[in-house]
Protein backbone atom coordinates (compact mmCIF):
# COMPACT_ATOMS: atom_id res chain seq x y z
CA UNK A 1 0.00 0.00 0.00
CA UNK A 2 1.26 3.53 -0.76
CA UNK A 3 3.10 5.29 2.06
CA UNK A 4 3.22 9.02 2.72
CA UNK A 5 5.80 11.04 4.60
CA UNK A 6 4.62 14.03 6.60
CA UNK A 7 7.21 16.58 7.71
CA UNK A 8 6.24 18.48 10.85
CA UNK A 9 7.07 22.19 11.21
CA UNK A 10 9.97 21.24 13.55
CA UNK A 11 11.49 19.12 10.77
CA UNK A 12 10.63 15.70 12.20
CA UNK A 13 9.17 13.34 9.65
CA UNK A 14 6.42 10.79 10.17
CA UNK A 15 5.70 7.85 7.93
CA UNK A 16 2.05 6.90 7.31
CA UNK A 17 0.99 3.65 5.65
CA UNK A 18 -2.24 4.17 3.74
CA UNK A 19 -4.96 1.82 2.62
CA UNK A 20 -6.88 1.90 -0.63
CA UNK A 21 -9.86 4.13 -1.24
CA UNK A 22 -9.07 6.86 1.24
CA UNK A 23 -7.88 10.44 1.10
CA UNK A 24 -4.58 11.68 2.48
CA UNK A 25 -6.55 13.38 5.26
CA UNK A 26 -8.30 10.14 6.20
CA UNK A 27 -5.02 8.24 6.29
CA UNK A 28 -3.48 10.94 8.48
CA UNK A 29 -6.33 11.10 10.99
CA UNK A 30 -6.60 7.29 11.15
CA UNK A 31 -2.90 7.22 11.95
CA UNK A 32 -3.45 9.82 14.70
CA UNK A 33 -1.12 12.31 13.07
CA UNK A 34 -0.90 15.65 14.88
CA UNK A 35 -1.11 18.62 12.60
CA UNK A 36 -4.12 17.61 10.48
CA UNK A 37 -7.36 18.70 12.15
CA UNK A 38 -9.99 18.01 9.48
CA UNK A 39 -12.77 19.65 11.47
CA UNK A 40 -15.37 19.12 8.75
CA UNK A 41 -14.51 15.45 8.36
CA UNK A 42 -13.55 15.65 4.69
CA UNK A 43 -16.44 17.64 3.26
CA UNK A 44 -14.25 20.41 1.80
CA UNK A 45 -15.66 23.05 4.10
CA UNK A 46 -13.13 24.03 6.75
CA UNK A 47 -9.55 24.30 5.38
CA UNK A 48 -8.05 22.63 8.49
CA UNK A 49 -6.29 19.76 6.70
CA UNK A 50 -3.90 22.10 4.88
CA UNK A 51 -0.59 20.67 3.63
CA UNK A 52 2.35 21.92 1.55
CA UNK A 53 3.21 19.47 -1.20
CA UNK A 54 6.87 18.74 -1.80
CA UNK A 55 7.78 20.49 -5.07
CA UNK A 56 8.84 17.29 -6.79
CA UNK A 57 5.35 15.85 -6.30
CA UNK A 58 3.25 18.87 -7.17
CA UNK A 59 2.72 18.13 -10.84
CA UNK A 60 1.75 14.54 -10.14
CA UNK A 61 -1.33 15.47 -8.13
CA UNK A 62 -4.76 16.10 -9.64
CA UNK A 63 -5.51 19.79 -10.20
CA UNK A 64 -7.02 22.02 -7.52
CA UNK A 65 -10.83 22.22 -7.92
CA UNK A 66 -12.82 25.44 -7.56
CA UNK A 67 -14.09 24.68 -4.03
CA UNK A 68 -10.63 23.81 -2.82
CA UNK A 69 -9.13 26.92 -4.38
CA UNK A 70 -11.57 29.17 -2.53
CA UNK A 71 -11.02 27.37 0.77
CA UNK A 72 -7.24 27.61 0.44
CA UNK A 73 -7.61 31.40 0.59
CA UNK A 74 -8.89 30.91 4.13
CA UNK A 75 -6.16 28.68 5.57
CA UNK A 76 -4.78 29.74 8.96
CA UNK A 77 -1.16 29.41 7.83
CA UNK A 78 0.00 31.25 4.73
CA UNK A 79 -1.21 29.91 1.40
CA UNK A 80 1.71 29.04 -0.86
CA UNK A 81 1.76 27.86 -4.48
CA UNK A 82 2.14 24.27 -3.23
CA UNK A 83 -0.75 24.48 -0.73
CA UNK A 84 -3.43 21.77 -0.93
CA UNK A 85 -6.23 20.42 1.24
CA UNK A 86 -5.34 16.83 2.08
CA UNK A 87 -9.00 15.74 2.06
CA UNK A 88 -9.02 16.47 -1.66
CA UNK A 89 -6.07 14.21 -2.48
CA UNK A 90 -7.19 10.65 -3.02
CA UNK A 91 -4.46 8.09 -2.58
CA UNK A 92 -3.52 6.10 -5.66
CA UNK A 93 -0.61 3.65 -6.13
CA UNK A 94 1.28 6.36 -8.08
CA UNK A 95 1.39 8.47 -4.90
CA UNK A 96 3.60 5.97 -3.04
CA UNK A 97 6.37 7.99 -1.44
CA UNK A 98 4.47 11.32 -1.46
CA UNK A 99 6.09 13.95 0.77
CA UNK A 100 3.92 16.60 2.47
CA UNK A 101 4.92 19.40 4.81
CA UNK A 102 2.57 20.38 7.63
CA UNK A 103 1.84 24.07 8.27
CA UNK A 104 2.53 25.81 11.59
CA UNK A 105 -1.17 25.90 12.37
CA UNK A 106 -4.57 24.82 11.06
CA UNK A 107 -6.81 27.30 12.90
Partner 1 sequence: MTASGTPASTGPASVPHLDVDPFDMAFFADPYPTHQRLREAGPVVYLDRWNVYGVARYAEVHAVLNDPATFCSSRGVGLSDFKKETPWRPPSLILEADPPAHTRTRAVLSKVLSPTVMKQVRDRFAAAAEERVDALLDQRSFDAITDLAEAYPLSIFPDALGLKPEGREHLIPYASVVFNAFGPPNELRQQAIARSSPHQAYVAEQCQRDNLAPGGFGACIHAQADAGAITATEAPLLVRSLLSAGLDTTVNGIGAAVYCLARFPEQWQRLRDDLTLARNAFEEAVRFESPVQTFFRTTTREVELSGATIGEGEKVLMFLAAANRDPRRWDQPDSYDITRRTSGHVGFGSGIHMCVGQLVARLEGEVMLTALARRIARIEITGEPKRRFNNTLRGLDSLPVTITPA
**Of 53 and 87, which has the nearer Cβ to partner 1?**
87
Q: How far is the CB of 43 from partner 1 (least distance, A)?
A: 5
Q: How far is the CB of 76 from partner 1 (least distance, A)?
A: 8
Residues 36-39: contacts with CB under 8 Å, at least 24 apart: 36/86, 36/102, 36/106, 37/106, 37/107, 38/86, 38/87, 39/107
The residues that touch partner 1, with contacts defined as CB under 8 A, are 29, 32, 37-43, 45-47, 67, 70-71, 73-75, 107
Q: How far is the CB of 32 from partner 1 (least distance, A)?
A: 7
**11 CB contacts (<8 Å, ≥6 apart)?**
none
**Of 60 and 105, which has the nearer Cβ to partner 1?**
105
Amino acid sequence: MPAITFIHPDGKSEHVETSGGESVMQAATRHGLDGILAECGGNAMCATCHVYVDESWLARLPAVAGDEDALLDGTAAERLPNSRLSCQINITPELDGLVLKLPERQV
